[in-house]
Structure 1
Amino acid sequence: MVKEPRNRHLLAADLDMLLTAAVREADDLPEADVERVTDRLRALVRPAWLLVPHDGPVRTGGSRIGGRPDLPHGWDWPTGGRDGAGPAALAFLAQIDLADVPCAADAGWLPPHGRLWFFRNESGVIETEPDHVVMHADVPAGGLRPAAPPAGLDHLIDEGGCGPEPDRPQPVVLRRTLFLDDDYKYGWHSRGIEAVAAELDEHVEDGAWEFFAQVQRNLVRAALNEGEQWGGMLIGRPNPCPPPGGACPCGRSAPAHTPGYDNEDGPCSPASDSLLVLYEGWGDGPLVFTADATAPAAVHGRSSPGTEAWVY
């Protein structure tokens, strides 16, 4: 009798097939090890969506990087306060229509409906409080209006030309994939991945980290059409460590009722991890928005709690 892999329940069927194929297509791994390694990685990968630029029209409320946001009627453009100098307008970075996100509920940290707006102080010189805002609203496109920064306020964009262009919106479509590897171009890094890497190093010719990179490239390639490029990634919460009812590659396991983040050993993945990663044009970049993975998936008022924004 074949033993059921302990972590198979952690992924939806389509994502499980995607991961299995990506592992099988990676070099150097014997077929006999594919299922075992795939099961270890099931507890480490996270749902993700590639932000793929396209040449279609800029629609009201549509997902985009840069340009101007479409804010709900009655909403003000977010500002940050400066000591002794009054407020300044935060730079608009991205707008995500959650209707464009296939299986958005898999992300775990974001609302299933509505839109998200990402703003940040991009000046690099002037300090403000807050220095970034992540906002959410669930209103129809007819309840949105093209917004501009308040007249008379400094607009905190990077004068060196970094970041998105306010006058050139880039529409994007979102393609579903998984997030695995050890940097923000291809994924994340955790104690769980280090544990699997230590084991794999003895079995793959080019080393575990190159193996992980191959798996991630396979995952990305499967999500893209021929010739497409991607400029960012929306990322779901890490699985709890240990995952409810399963075993983590770090070695810990738990019954189904055990929460994943309430022990002194801490989670395999960082408690505060990425939500949105934007590439190209942020100096050393990428620009990473993070959120507290232990916080409830909720938005208080207009803003998502526990977020940070920084250039990696």
Structure 2
Amino acid sequence: MEEPTYSTAFLRRQVEQTEQRLAAVVPEVAEARALYEEAAGPAAARLQFYDAYAGQAFGSLWSGAEDLVDVLANLRLMARLIQQDVAALEETARRYAQLRLKQDTLQRYRDLLDAVETAAQARERRLGGAVNRDELQLALYDVAEDWERLRPHLFVPFFQEAGRRLQRLDRVAVPGREPGTWHLEEDALNRVLPDPFTARVEGGRLSLTGPRFYLRADHLYFDAVMEGAFGTYHVLAVGQMERAGPTRIQYRIEAIYIDGLPVDPGDPDVQADIYQNSLLAMDGRSLLPGAVAMRYEQNNGYLWLAPEPPEAN
């Protein structure tokens, strides 16, 4: 016998711990922001004064003023003060940025825990309590049967539509900090997903709602709700981006949970439906026409993309 409530209880503890860490970092972020704004105000005023003074000073230099030495000395003094202001601002901004990143990372992890907890709760509802091995196998069989109808008629078409929306990747990704690199942010990716996505099949209408990706350095998670005449299911997929060509990458699913119950992504039918359709395919040539390759990297909250131009002759 298994205790299906154990996973939900464990996840709830994880959620509570994450919420405590989030609550602790909020005042730190607010304090860092206040310090940054407090330092930025006087520095900005001094910069404006310096800008005005420098203009007058240069005018004096060009007009051959007799106090040339004093003008130059004052300019050097102002330059040193401004350098100190800039250094102090950079340090305060760095501290603020670090805390914001920590807060953002914790919030994204909290959101992912919500998706996993939803899957665990869906499992408990479907099983209805503790079950023996035979009852579990029967539940797995029922889910697998419905998955056979949902996968080709709803799940795969949803990803096909998402792929079409990502063909102009340059309209979704943003330039990275390094020249020639791009970031596909988690929020930007989720904004282009069709929601709701509907499909009509013989016997009724299918829908997929609330789709969301959670981009992590280790895996890409996807969850949504699928609905048809035969029932409503929560789907949670776990996978990674993989190379699909010199300039192309795609989402490779490593595990799928339907209402918290696993289905085999290695099943030949699943392989044919999913991987032949290049789920969430992205091509670096949409970022750099003529690109001959693309490097990529998974990060918490975004994908790092770097299309490479052909070598110069």
Q: What TM-score results when the alignment is normalised by the length of structure 1?
A: 0.22
Larger radius of gyration: 2
- Pick the structure with more helix per residue: 2
Q: What TM-score results when the alignment is normalised by the length of structure 2?
A: 0.22
With CA pairs under 8 Å and 6+ residues apart, which has the higher RCO, 1 or 2? 1
